[in-house]
Amino acid sequence: MFGLIAFAATIAATAFGYLQSRSFVRRRLAYVDAVHNGLAPILAGAAAFVVATPVVGILPLVGGGTALLFGAGVGAGVAAGARDTRLRRIGV
C-alpha cells in the first residue's frame, strides 16, 4: 500500500515539474536566448534535483528516485517549452 502511494507521489511530482517548467519557459522566457541553448535543460534539471534532494530526505514515503525523476521532468519541460517558443516564432 505504501509503495503505491510513493509511486503516485513520484508520478505527481514528475508531472508537476514538467508542466510548470514548460509553462514558465513558454510564458516568461520566450525571448531569452539562453533558454534555447542545449545546456539549459540540463542545468535546470540538475538545479531541480539539488533543490528536491533535501525535501525528499525529510519525507518518509519518497526517496532519491523521486528527486531524480523530478529533475528529469523539469529538464524535459524546459526543453519542450523552448521548442514550443521556437515553433511559435517561425509560425508553425
CA–CA dist 58, 39 (Å, integer) = 30
The DSSP code for 67 is H
Does pLDDT of 10 surpass 80?
A: yes
CA–CA dist 41, 47 (Å, integer) = 10
Prediction pTM value = 0.92
CA–CA dist 86, 7 (Å, integer) = 34
Q: How high is the pLDDT of residue 83?
A: 94
Task: State the chain's mean pLDDT as an integer.
Answer: 93
CA–CA dist 30, 1 (Å, integer) = 42
Does pLDDT of 25 surpass 70?
A: yes
pLDDT greater at residue 2 or residue 43: 43
